Structure 1
Amino acid sequence: MDSGEVKPFAGEILRKAADTIDERGKQRDGAGQERSMSRTVAAFNAMTDHKLTEEDGWLFMQYLKDARSRAGQFTEDDYLDKTAYSALQAECAITNHNYRIMRGQCS
Structure 2
Amino acid sequence: MNTAAQILTAAAEDICQRAALRDQPAGERSMGRTVAAFNALHGTNLTEVQGWQFMALLKHARSTGGKHHPDDYQDGAAYTALAGEAAAHEAAA
**Same-fold status (TM-score > 0.5):** yes
Structure 1 residue aligned with 2:67: 73
Q: Give structure 1 stretches of 5+ with no counterpart.
A: 1-6, 100-107
CA distance in 1, matches of 2:58, 2:40: 21
Higher helix proportion, which one? Answer: 2
For 1:51, the aligned partner's letter is N
Indicate the residue corresponding to 1:53 in structure 2.
47
Deviation at 1:65? 0.3
1:30 paired residue number: 23
4+ long deviations beyond 6 Å = none
Amino acid at match of 2:73: Y
Match in the other structure for 1:43:
37
- Number of equivalent positions: 92
Alpha-carbon shift at residue 76 of structure 1 (Å)? 0.8
Counterpart residue identity of residue 76, structure 2: K
Q: Distance in 2 between matches of 1:81 and 1:64?
A: 10
Q: Residue 83 of structure 1 aligns to which amino acid in structure 2?
A: A
Three-state SS of the structure 2 residue aligned to 1:34 is coil
Q: Highest relative contact order (Cα 8 Å, sep 6+), 1 or 2? A: 2
Tell me the residue number matched to 1:96. 90
Q: Which residue of 1 aligns with 2:6?
A: 12
Q: CA RMSD in A?
A: 1.6
What's the TM-score once normalised by structure 2's chain length? 0.90
Q: Residue 9 of structure 1: CA displacement?
A: 2.1
